[in-house]
Each structure stands twice: as C-alpha cells, then as structure tokens.
Amino acid sequence: MAAPGAAGGGRSGAPAAEWGGFEDNMQGGGSAVIDMENMDDTSGSSFEDMGEMHQRMKEEEEEAEGEAGAGEEEEDGEFLGMKGLRGQLGRQVADQMWQVGKRQASRAFSLYANIDILRPYFDVEPVQVRARLLESMIPVKMINFPQKIAGELYGPLMLVFTLVAILLHGMKTSDTIIREGTLMGTAIGTCFGYWLGVSSFMYFLAYLCNAQITMVQMLSLLGYGLFGHCITLFVTYNIHFHSLFYIFWLVVGGLSTLRMVAVLVSRTVGHTQRLILCGTLAALHMLFLLYLHFAYHKVVEGILDTLEGPNMPPFQRVARDIPAVSNAVLNTTAKAIALTL
C-alpha cells in the first residue's frame, strides 16, 4: 500500500510539474486564455468587479499616499497638509464618480432586464395571431379536457390599442365632451383598466376556485375576448341603430363569452367553482360592452338631465349640439329607443 502510494505520489509529481506549468498559464499575464473576471469591462454584469477594482485602487492610492507622505514628511513639514488634502479630495471625487457610474449602470441594466422578461411573450407569427383571433369567436365543444391557452401578449395588447382607437372614434363622432379629463386619457384608462383589472380579479377568483390558469394566460384569454368588442363597437358606432347593437351584443359578445367560459370550465373542477368563475366572467364581459356603447356614444339629452338633476358630478358627459349632424342622429336614436321600449 505504501509503495504503490509512494510510486503513485512520485508519478503524480511528474505530471504535477507539467500540469503546474499549465496552471501558470491560466492565471498569469502573457497568456492566450482570457480570465473573464479581471476584464476591465464597464457593462452591468461586472460592476461587482468594478467595486473590487475601485477598492484595490483606493488601497493602492492610500499606500502610495502613505509612502509619499512619509517620504515628504521629513523633507518639508508644511507640504504635508496640502498633499493630504489633495489626496482626500481626489479620493472623494473618484468615489463620487464611481457611485454615479454604478447607479447609472444598475439602472440601465434593470431597464434592459425588464424588457427581456417580456420577450418570450411576444414570440409570435402573423398567421398565429390571425388564427387566434378567429378562434376567439368559436366556442370549444370539449370541456372535459383542459383546453390549451396560448400565453401570448402581442395580440391582446394590439386589440386593447385597437379598442382605444375605436373608442376615440366613437367619442368624437358622438361629440362627447369630457370635463376634468381628456378624451384620450379616458379611452386609454378605460380599456387598459378593464383588461388589467378584470384579468387580475379573474385570476384571483381562479386562484380561489382552484382553476388551472396562470396570469399571462388569463391576460391573453381576456385580451382575445376583446376582439368581439372591437367588431361590435366598430360597426355600431358607425350605424346608429340600437336594435342592431343589441343583436350584435348578444351574438358577437355572446360567442366570445361562450368561448372564454368554455375554456375556463375545461380547466376547473367542481360545479360551484365553475359557476362562480364563469358567471363572473360572463357578466363582466357583457356588461363592459354595454357600458362602452352607452357611455361613450350619443346619449339623449333628456335621459341625462333626468338622471343627474341639479347637482352635477365633476366627471360628466354632456352632449354637444352640431345642428346638421346631431338632429339626424337624435331623431334616429329617439325612434330606435321608441321602437325598443
């Protein structure tokens, strides 16, 4: 045991000598192997090394100063004060510059990192987006098997912006005036508020009801459900018949609601939970379409006056009179309401 061990040790000594030469190459200068840790790189990934370098710099400076100070001390006593002051000032300036640089680097790094978090959700092809848009109107039949939801954010985001544009168009053509706010701000706030707020609320309910759905999937599902809203509002903001709107509301809104409900049902177990989830989603979805049509479209002046009365709330919508257009629209709307009521 001892002899093979010694022999092994002897034998290991020879390769160790060779390997030792190899080790030197890995660490020292004048080698072809680049040691990434010691690269003088100001990108965000190595600012810990910047700190080390700075620390080393500071220590070297202090050492140099200490030596210089000790050297100068005997020579000229009055120069010590100035050199000491300059050294300190230099150190402070270097310190400040490094702090500012570090702050900038970390801010830039975190900004870049945030964009990269969202990158996989935007990895789509145009054909996929088109297919998903059409699918969002077709209710699935198989609810015993969990349906696949694509966790993609490009389509929903574009649909929300399209809804904002359509809403803007509707508000302009119906000449709604918004006091204490702007048209654009209201449209963006409403659409994004619905998409993000209702998605979060539904995700919370899904968590309570043990449904198998993630936040991104919920955002995606609800976002694609807005496709029906876009179609309905685009048509009915231009053709002002209330009966047409109700038909569209039931058919188009109903189809997209049915699809969302079917997908959620396929991912939930238990009757009560299914009922809670799907009832809430259906109610919110359909009511939102109703709200968008009536709140941002031409409202007959009489109804507003009787509802609100003398005390006007600060956020109000008042119909404005453009004689040529508004009379025609008023008459048509009044007739349509009279027909439906």
Partner 1 sequence: MAAAEGSGAGGSLFPGLADVSISQDIPVEGEITVPVGSHSPDEDYSTLDEPVKDTIMRDLKAVGKKFVHVMYPRKSSALLRDWDLWGPLVLCVSLALMLQGGSADSKDDGGPQFAEVFVIIWFGAVVITLNSKLLGGTISFFQSLCVLGYCVMPLTVAMLVCRLVLLAGAGTISFIIRLIVVGAMFAWSTLASTAFLADSQPPNRKALVVYPIFLFYFVISWMILTFTPQ
* Residue 134, both tokens: 């059409």
- Closest approach of Cβ 210 to partner 1, in Å? 33
Which of 47, 154, 227, 248 binds partner 1 (CB under 8 A)? It is: 154
Find the part of the chain contacting partner 1 (CB under 8 A) among 82-90, 154-162, 236-244, 257-265. 154-162
- Closest approach of Cβ 10 to partner 1, in Å? 9
Which of 161, 204, 291, 294 binds partner 1 (CB under 8 A)? It is: 161
Is there binding between residue 86 and partner 1 (CB under 8 A)? no
Token pair 């899904």: residue: 206
- Closest approach of Cβ 23 to partner 1, in Å? 12
Nearest one of 316, 290, 293 to 174, comparing CA atoms: 293
Distance CA 59, CA 56 (A): 5
Site mask, partner 1, residues 172-191, x = CB under 8 A?
A: x--x-x-x-xxxxx------
Distance CA 207, CA 218 (A): 11
- Closest approach of Cβ 49 to partner 1, in Å? 23
Is there binding between residue 169 and partner 1 (CB under 8 A)? yes
Of 102-141, binders to partner 1 (CB under 8 A) are 115, 118-119, 121-126, 129
Considering the complex, state which of residue 66 and residue 120 has its C-beta at the smaller distance from partner 1: 120
Considering the complex, state which of residue 118 and residue 269 has its C-beta at the smaller distance from partner 1: 118
Of 271-330, binders to partner 1 (CB under 8 A) are 320
Kindly list the residues in this chain that would bind partner 1 in the complex (CB under 8 A): 8, 11-12, 14-15, 18, 21-22, 115, 118-119, 121-126, 129, 154, 157-158, 161-162, 165, 168-169, 172, 175, 177, 179, 181-185, 320
